[in-house]
Amino acid sequence: MNEGGEGYKPPVTKMEAPKAPESLKNQHFDYTLVFGQGPVQEVDKIPQTGREGLNFYSRLEAKAAAEMLRQGKTDHLILSGGKTGARGKTEEGKTEADLMFDLIKAEIGVDENDNFFNFKGESVKFSKAVLIENLANDSLENFAEIVNKFIDKDGFRDAKMALLGVGFHAKPTRYLGVGGADIGRLEALSNIYQLNSPVFSAEQVLRELVVDKHSKDSAIASIMGRLTDLSENSNVTMLKAQQEMVLVDMLKEGDWLRKLGSFKSEARIKQVLLNQPETLKEIGLSQEELKNIKIELLREKIQELFKKIQLTQTLYPETKTAVFKAFDSMGIVNGKNMTQTYAKGELPKK
Residue 139 confidence (pLDDT) above 90: no
Residue 284 confidence (pLDDT) above 60: yes
Asked if residue 186 lies in contact with residue 222, where contact means CB atoms within 8 angstroms, the answer is no
Integer Cα distance of 261 and 252 in angstroms: 17
Residue 219 — very low, low, confident or very high, per pLDDT cuts 50/70/90?
A: confident
pLDDT tens-digit profile of 103-116? 899 989 899 999 99
Please tell me whether residue 138 adopts helix, strand or coil conformation.
Answer: coil
Q: What value, to the nearest 5°, has the Cα angle with vertex 208 and ends 206 and 213?
A: 100
The mean per-residue pLDDT over the stretch 74-102 comes to 78
How high is the pLDDT of residue 298? 97
Dihedral angle over CA of 316, 138, 208, 338, nearest 10: -50
How high is the pLDDT of residue 296? 96
pLDDT tens-digit profile of 164-175? 998 888 877 766
Percent of the chain clearing pLDDT 90 (strictly above): 31
Asked if residue 34 lies in contact with residue 80, where contact means CB atoms within 8 angstroms, the answer is yes
Which residues have C-beta within 8 Å of that of residue 152, sequence separation ≥ 6? 263, 264, 265, 268
Asked if residue 60 lies in contact with residue 104, where contact means CB atoms within 8 angstroms, the answer is no
pLDDT tens-digit profile of 35-47? 987 766 444 444 4
**Rg of the Cα atoms in the chain:** 21
Most confident by average pLDDT, 206-215, 224-233, 278-287: 278-287
Domain locations along the chain: 29-255+311-344
pLDDT tens-digit profile of 205-217? 998 998 877 766 6
C-alpha 172, offset from chain centre: 13
